[in-house]
Amino acid sequence: MDNFFTSVPLAEKLLEKNLTIVGTLRQNKADIPPVMKKSKSREVHSSEFGFSGNMTMVSYVTKKGKVVVLLSTMHDDKAVDDNSVKKKPEMIQYYNKTKGGVDTMDQMVRTYSCKWRTRRWPMVLWHNVLDVAALNAYIIFTTQHPDYMGGVSHARRLFIKELGKELVLP
């Protein structure tokens, strides 16, 4: 799961239905113990593990001052790849192998987005819906028209611009 969805309460509810998750957590989640959060004193490529019932949380220092926190209901040990220089925990390796779709979509949406800063959560949700809908429209259109803007590096930007113009016409 992406950090937009991952939370301890959701993991608990999914476990009740015999569904497991592996996902990144946002740094501002209340469920993350202080020892797992950013710390300049932690060594690069070090890991901290936390266990509670059927859940495992790992905090991994990717570089000085940058921490990635994952939550898993699939993993239940402190397995780390000691053969590599980065000594990544098995949970992170599994997440990286299986992430794919959501992260690719997030990356593509971030490239051309209509989002702006606001404190109103319905607007945040609306902007996300628009961004995802525009990406989906582009994917469907280019699947049906494979020769559309052949070779143009910013074809999606041009498509979104054209889409916006079409939507405001009577």
Confidence (pTM): 0.65
Helix (H, G, I), strand (E, B) or coil at 125: helix
Q: Residue 71: its pLDDT value, please?
A: 95
* Rounded Cα gap, residues 48 and 36, in angstroms: 7
Average pLDDT of the residues in 106-116: 88
- Looking at the chain, the whole-number percentage of residues with pLDDT higher than 70 is 100
* Rounded Cα gap, residues 131 and 105, in angstroms: 10
Q: Residue 79: its pLDDT value, please?
A: 87
Q: Residue 142: its pLDDT value, please?
A: 92
Region for residue 149 given its phi and psi (left: phi exceeds 0; alpha: psi -120 to 50; beta: otherwise): left
pLDDT reading at 140 higher than 90: yes
Q: Residue 122: its pLDDT value, please?
A: 92
pLDDT reading at 36 higher than 90: no
Average pLDDT of the residues in 79-90: 86
Q: Are 87 and 49 in contact (CB under 8 A)?
A: no
